[in-house]
Amino acid sequence: MLNTEILEILSKSKSWGWVLEPDAKRILSLVGISVPPFIWARNLEEALQFAEENEYPVVAKVVSPKVVHKTEVKGVVLGIDNKIALAETFHRLSSFDGARGVLVEKPIQGIEMIIGKKSIFSSVR
């Protein structure tokens, strides 16, 4: 089940101790679990293109290894329904400490599930 791409994601995530949300969604997709359509936008043009192709409204979330609990720092914006609101949100989220882009996705309805896993990485001598 752990293919090369998953191992690469886990390896790059080791330094901050957790997996960024876009990477976690990628892992879920690789093991056959459905996730809402999303993009890890590194620039505004990518975010706008995604929203236009997938239709508004969209959700935007900061992607930063320094922001674990996004809602506590207002790093999640729901109900973005036009390109001006998306542009303003993108610029605000991009200014967060350590920001590596913005996750833009289609909102879905249902029950929220949080998945956690803790691993101890050790080296064998």
- The answer to whether 37 touches 29, Cβ cutoff 8 Å, is no
Q: Domain ranges for the chain, please list them.
A: 1-35, 37-108
| pLDDT tens for each residue of 20-60 | 999 999 999 999 999 999 999 999 999 999 999 999 999 99
What is the rounded distance in angstroms from the CA atom of residue 21 to the CA atom of residue 85? Answer: 22
Q: Is the pLDDT of residue 124 over 70?
A: no
What is the rounded distance in angstroms from the CA atom of residue 89 to the CA atom of residue 20? Answer: 19
27's enclosing H/E stretch is helix 21-30
Class (C level, CATH) for 37-108: alpha beta
Cβ-based neighbours of 39, under 8 Å, separated by 6 or more = 46, 47, 50, 103, 104, 105
The model carries a pTM of: 0.85
| pLDDT tens for each residue of 46-96 | 999 999 999 999 999 999 999 988 999 999 999 999 999 999 999 999 999
What is the rounded distance in angstroms from the CA atom of residue 96 to the CA atom of residue 1? Answer: 34
Give the per-residue pLDDT at 110: 83
What is the rounded distance in angstroms from the CA atom of residue 15 to the CA atom of residue 30? Answer: 22
